[in-house]
């Protein structure tokens, strides 16, 4: 007999079919999260501390959850039970991106408790906890977004926070193997890592996340998971909204791209240009990306 699914109750109501957005860094998960967060009835968090701490603990040290699926699922449910609570000052603990997307300027909340119908999350690097999410929420709806790895690398190279993970003493590639966070799957990957350029290391991270998403597609049904391409999302926001709405079973706002919404002073909005790698990457960087992720780029349709 299979175990009864765990029902999480937050704000006095059961969490049903929560929606999670995953993708490689700079793949557009934040744009989808914004659209969901601004849709009626949704309470979507982006980088909430209680979730972020668990995600990076699992992502950086996958060995702590290996073989402990039930325990990992419990920890994630507890994190979301805290993250999704609506209180008078709850949004004060949220990330600037989450507060801005929800239009919060003071100590108020981005959503009224009585209006909540669906919950969701788009924590950065949530992709590395995707399997635990499914264990934690058997009825979860996962939206994954894939982007041309060359554009991802170009954006990562311009992001000091993303590059900080590669610093000596931060990259735990010797103590954790395999290491999905850095895309290290084999001993050959591990041996090659020290000699890779920053572009190569970024490419390996992209390759690793794409492989995770491919495994998810093979293991989950079409009712549980859908995959979107970043390039189609920004070119056809209305069609994307319809597709996501049909998938999650609730109306979702169209994705907004740069120039159509306000950004926090001093923040760096995600580059929405598709194909920007052609002017941003050097020939040497493209060679490094090809050596690491060329096969994966072609497999997922980015061969031009």
Tell which residue, 255, 210, 264, has the closest CA to residue 234. 255
Q: Specify if 2 maps to a domain.
A: no
Look at strands 13-14 and 19-23 and give their pairing: unpaired
Mean of the pLDDT values across residues 276-304? 95
Domain of 154: which CATH number? 3.40.50.300
Q: How many CB atoms are closer than 10 A to CB 57? A: 16
CA 225, distance to chain mean position in Å, is 14
pLDDT of 105:
73
pLDDT of 104:
77
Q: Which residues of 230-240 are buried (b: 16+ CB within 10 A; e: fewer)?
A: bbebbeebeeb
First to last CA, the chain: 50
Percent of the chain topping pLDDT 70: 91
The pLDDT of residue 103 is above 90: no
Query: DSSP state, 84?
Result: T
| 35 neighbors 254 (Cβ within 8 angstroms) | yes
pLDDT of 62:
86
Q: Which residues of 21-54 are buried (b: 16+ CB within 10 A; e: fewer)?
A: bbbbbbbbbbbbbbbbbbbeebbbbbbbebbbeb
The Cα 227–Cα 21 span in angstroms is: 10
Q: Specify if 51 maps to a domain.
A: yes
Mean of the pLDDT values across residues 243-258? 91
Total count of domains within the chain: 1
- Of 41-45, 106-110, 289-293, the range with the lowest mean pLDDT is 106-110
Q: Is 66 left (phi over 0), alpha (psi -120 to 50) or beta?
A: beta
Q: Specify if 271 maps to a domain.
A: yes
pTM of the entire structure? 0.91
Q: Specify if 55 maps to a domain.
A: yes
pLDDT of 258:
58
The pLDDT of residue 271 is above 80: no
Q: Specify if 263 maps to a domain.
A: yes
| 125 neighbors 30 (Cβ within 8 angstroms) | no
- Of 86-90, 131-135, 181-185, the range with the lowest mean pLDDT is 86-90
Cα-atom radius of gyration of the chain, to the nearest Å? 19
Q: Specify if 210 maps to a domain.
A: yes
Mean of the pLDDT values across residues 191-214? 97
Q: How many CB atoms are closer than 10 A to CB 118? A: 21
pLDDT of 88:
67
The helix/strand/coil state of 119 is strand
pLDDT in tens, 151-174: 999 999 999 999 999 999 999 999
The Cα 255–Cα 32 span in angstroms is: 6
| 54 neighbors 75 (Cβ within 8 angstroms) | yes
Q: Specify if 304 maps to a domain.
A: no
| 108 neighbors 91 (Cβ within 8 angstroms) | yes
The pLDDT of residue 109 is above 50: yes
pLDDT in tens, 4-43: 567 899 988 899 999 999 999 999 999 999 999 999 999 9
Residue numbers of the domain that contains 192: 10-299
Q: Specify if 177 maps to a domain.
A: yes
Helices (DSSP H) in 61-148: which residue ranges? 69-83, 96-101, 130-136
The pLDDT of residue 217 is above 50: yes
| Torsion angle in degrees (nearest 10) through CA of 231, 237, 240, 245 | 150
Query: What confidence tier does 262 reach under pLDDT thresholds 50, 70, 90?
Result: very low
Q: 80 or 62: whose pLDDT is higher?
A: 80
């Amino acid at each position: 007999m299979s175990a009864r699914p765990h029902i999480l109750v937050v704000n006095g109501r059961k969490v049903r079919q929560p929606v999670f957005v995953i993708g490689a860094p700079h793949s557009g998960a934040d744009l989808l999260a914004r659209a969901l967060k601004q849709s009626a009835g949704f309470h979507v968090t982006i980088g909430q501390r209680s979730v972020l701490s668990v995600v990076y603990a699992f992502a950086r040290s996958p060995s702590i959850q290996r073989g402990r699926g039930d325990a990992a699922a419990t920890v994630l449910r507890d994190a979301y039970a805290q993250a999704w609570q609506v209180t008078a000052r709850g949004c004060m603990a949220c990330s600037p991106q989450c507060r801005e997307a929800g239009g919060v300027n003071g100590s108020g909340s981005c959503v009224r408790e009585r209006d909540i119908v669906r919950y969701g999350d788009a924590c950065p690097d949530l992709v590395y906890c995707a399997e635990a999410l499914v264990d934690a929420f058997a009825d979860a709806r996962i939206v994954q977004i894939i982007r041309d790895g060359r554009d991802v690398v170009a954006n990562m190279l311009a992001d000091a926070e993303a590059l900080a993970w590669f610093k000596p003493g931060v990259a735990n590639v010797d103590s954790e193997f395999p290491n999905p966070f850095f895309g290290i799957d084999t001993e050959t990957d591990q041996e090659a890592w020290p000699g890779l350029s920053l572009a190569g290391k970024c490419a390996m991270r992209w390759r690793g996340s794409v492989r995770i998403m491919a495994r998810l597609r093979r293991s989950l049904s079409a009712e549980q998971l859908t995959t979107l391409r970043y390039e189609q999302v920004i070119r056809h926001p209305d069609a994307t909204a319809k597709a996501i709405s049909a998938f999650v079973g609730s109306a979702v706002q169209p994705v907004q791209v740069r120039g159509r919404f306000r950004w926090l002073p001093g923040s760096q909005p995600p580059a929405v240009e598709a194909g920007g790698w052609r002017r941003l990457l050097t020939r040497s960087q493209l060679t490094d990306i090809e050596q690491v992720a060329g096969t994966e780029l072609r497999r997922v349709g980015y061969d031009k």
